[in-house]
Structure 1
Amino acid sequence: MKKVKRTTIYDIAEKLGITASSVSRALNNSNQVNEKTKELIIKTADELNYKRNTLASNLRKGQSKTIGVVIPRINQNFFSNVIAGIEEVTYQKGYSLIICQSDEDHDKEIQCVNTLINQHVDCIVISVSADGNDYQHLQNVLDHGIQLIQVDRVAEELETLKVINDNVQASYEAVSHLIEGGYKRIALLEGPQNLSIFKQRKEGYLKAFKAYNVPVIEELIVENAWTKELGAEGTRKLLSLPHPPDAIFASTSDFSALGVLDVANAMGIKVPSQLGICGYANESFSEITSPSITTIDQFSVYMGNTVANLFFQEIGNNDTITKPKIISIKPELIIRGSTKRNG
C-alpha cells in the first residue's frame, strides 16, 4: 500500500506562489498577513488536507501539552483507574497523555523515562517499579526542568510532588478488623521492602498488633508474596505449619489475596470460618469471588484527578521557590464475605 505524503506548509506555499513563512503566519492567525490572503491560505490548506503538527507548534511555544505516565502494569485496575483519573482532568485542559508500562522492570522504567524526556513532555507522572532502588533517572527528569509527580509508589529521597495513600492507617484498620472479628493468628503477605508502600503496610500490621496487645509471630510473616502466584506459594507454606494462621492479610494486592483464596478452596478450607482473607486495592474481581474479598479501596480515580490538578496548580504557581507538596489520601476498608464470620 502506497504511503500518502503528509501535506506541509511548503506544499501550500508552492501552490499559491508565496513564501512558507507567510503560510505559517496565516495559519497562526498573525496580523502580519492581510485577511484576504489569510482566507485564501486557509481554504487551500483545507483543500490539500493539511494537518497542523501541534507538537511542533507547542514546542515552539515552550510546551508540548503532553504528560507522560509510567506505571508498573496497565492491566491492574488500580493503575488503569489512576490513568483514567488523570485523563479526566487533562482532557478538559487540552493536554494529551503518553502511557508507558514498566512491567516491574527497572531497566524498562529507565527506558520509558528517557523516551518521555526526549519527547519533551511537560510532566512525567510515575509509580516506580518494584525492581530496583536507584532513582538517578528520576533526578534526570528534574535536571531537564520537567515537572515530576510521583504517585502511590514513590522514591522517598527525591523531593518532588507526591500523591500517596495513608498505607499505615489502612493496614492498621484492616488488621484491627481481623482481630476484632476473633482471628487469633493473623499472617502477613508482604511486598518488597525497598518500596515505601509495602514498608508502611507492614508498619500498620505491626501497629495493630501492638494496640491490641497481640504478640507478633515471625513465622506468619511471608516476604515478597506480592503476586497471585507468590501469594499462593506463601499460603501453602503458612497452611502447612504445625500451627497455621486463621487469617491472612495480603497487604500487597488483591491478586495476592486471590492466590490465598484459590489455595484455601483447593485444600477444602472454609472461608471465612476457618480462614479470614483481606486484600488490598479493591480490584474489580474482588467483589465477585466466592466469597467476595475484604479489601482496601485506595480511591484510585480520585488519586489520578489529584495528580492532574496538582500539575495544573503548579504551572499556575508564580512562586520561584516552593516546598514540594505531598498529598496523602485516606483509603477505606471494604468489609466483604471473606472476613464476615457472623454473616
Structure 2
Amino acid sequence: MIQCTNCQETQNLVKAGFVRGKQRFLCKSCESYFTVQTTPVTPAKKNHQTTIVDIAKALGVAPSTVSRALNNSKEINENTRQEILRVAQELDYRPNLLAQSLNRGATNTIGVVIPDIQRPFFAGVLSGIQQVASNAGYRVMICQSNESHSTETLNVQALMSSQVDGLLISHSVETTSFEHIKLHLNRGIPIVHFDRVAYELPTAKVILDNFRGSFLLVEHLIKQGCKRIAICAGPKELLISQERFEGYKSALQEYGLSFDPDLVYHIGFRKNEAVDALNQWLSLESPPDAIFAVHHGNAIELMVELKKRGIKIPAQIAVAGFGDDQIAELIEPALTVFHQFPLQVGEIAANTLINNIIDGDNFVPEDIIVQGKLVVRKSSLKI
C-alpha cells in the first residue's frame, strides 16, 4: 500500500507523472508531492485493446504526452519517453493502424490478387513482392481468386475497403470484363498488372516473355528433329495462352513445318484434360513426336502418363513446357522449360506499384517485359 511520505495518508493520492523512472504522486490531504519506485503495470483485460488513454492513466500523464512519446517527438524528455515505452510494452499496446491511416491518408499496405497461390509461379512472385514491400516499409494483403471472376471482384472490393494504398493483380481465367478495376482506377488508386494483364486499361504492366519463350521451346524441339509437335494449349480466352500459341505457330512457320489443327488441344490447366489431349493425339494415324505444353505443370502430368503407357521420353515423344519449378528438374527425365524468373516478376511489380504510389499523378505507366530463359534438359534431347 502506498502512503504519503509527509502525512502517511493512503486515500487521497493521485498519480502525477514520474521522475527518473519513479512514479510521482500528489497527496491532496497535505498538498505535497513524493515519488516511489515504479511497479509493474496491471495488464489490460483479455479482450481489451490497450489505448493511449490506458497508458496515460497508468502513468498519470496526459494522453497527448503519450502520443508524442510514441511518435518519438523531440518535445518529450528522453527519460519520460523511455518510461512510456516501458509501460506501453507491459500493457501490450499496439497502434491502431486504421486510425493512423485515416489521419495521414495512407496505410502503407498494398493489396495483391492472384489466381492460384498453390502454383509455384505465383508463390515465387509473392516472395518477390513481399521482399520489396517489406524493405520499403509496406505490409502486404494477399487474396486468391481461385480462377473465379466473381471471387476476384470480391477480393478487390475487400482490399479497397481495407484502404490499401495500391493494388497488384493477375486476373483469373474467367475474367474478361474489367469494370471492377476501372472503378478504382478512376478514383486514382494506383494499380499495376502482372502476368495476366488487361491491355485496355492504362496501368503499368509487368508481363512475361510469352511469345518468344514459346518460339524458343518449339524451335528447340524442331532442331532436335521433331516434325509433328503437338501443343497442349491453355484456355482460348486467356491472353497469355494466345501469346504462347502464336509463338508456337510462328516457330512452325519459320522452319517450314505445316500447322495441323489435330495437334492442338485447348485445356483449362486441369489434369484430366491433359490426359484427354494425350488420348486424342495417340489415336491419330500419325501421332506427335513431341508435345509442347503452355503450362509446365501439364507437361509434367503428360510425362507421368506417357511413362505409365510405356512410351519412351524423349525417344518416342519429346516434351517441353512453359514455366519452371523444382519438380520439373527432379522428374526423370528432367523437363525442358522456359524459365520465367517469378521472383524477379514480383520484385519489379512491387517496385513499380510503390513508385506509382509515391509519384501519384506524375507516374507514367509502361509495359515491362521480364526476359525468360530456355533451359534444356533430357525430356527433349532426341539428338
Q: TM-score range by the shorter chain?
A: over 0.9
Matches within 5 A, 1:1-343: 3-30=46-73, 38-251=81-294, 253-317=295-359, 320-342=361-383
Query: For the pair shown, which has the larger CA radius of gyration, 1 or 2?
Result: 2
Identify if the C-alpha distance between structure 1 residues 61 and 330 changes in structure 2 by more than 3 Å, giving closer, same or farther: same
SS at match of 1:10: helix
Cα distance between partner residues in 1 of 2:332 and 2:268 = 22
The 2-side partners of 1:105 and 1:126 are apart by 13
How does the TM-score come out when normalised to structure 2?
Answer: 0.83
Distance (whole Å) between structure 2 residues aligned to residue 91 and residue 194 of structure 1: 35
| Structure 1 position 92, deviation (Å) | 1.2
Which SS does the other structure have where 1:309 is aligned? helix
| Separation (CA, whole Å) in 2 of partners of 1:267 and 1:44 | 70
In 2: Cα distance, 1:234 partner to 1:305 partner: 36
> CA shift at 1:19, angstroms?
4.3
Cα distance in 2 between the residues matched to 1:183 and 1:235: 17
Structure 1 unmatched runs, 5+: none
Q: What displacement does 1:39 show?
A: 5.0
- Answer whether contact 2:356 2:363 (CA < 8 A) is retained: no
**For the residues of structure 1 that align with 2:79 and 2:134, how far apart are their CA atoms?**
34
Aligned pairs, number: 339
Question: Percent same amino acid among aligned pairs?
Answer: 39
RMSD of the TM alignment (CA)? Answer: 2.0
Contact 2:165-2:357 within 8 A present in 1 as well: no
Q: Quick one: higher RCO (CA 8 Å, sep 6+), 1 or 2? A: 1
- How far 1:321 moved relative to its partner? 4.6
Partner SS, residue 317 of structure 1? helix
1:279 partner SS: strand
**Aligned partners of 1:26, 1:317: CA distance in 2, in Å?**
31
Partners of 1:321 and 1:28 in 2: CA distance: 30
Between structures 1 and 2, the one with greater strand share: 2
SS at match of 1:94: coil
Deviation at 1:315? 3.5
Question: Structure 1 residue 191: deviation in Å?
Answer: 0.9
- Structure 2: distance between partners of 1:302 and 1:258: 24
Runs of at least 5 residues in structure 2 that lack an aligned partner in the other structure: 1-44
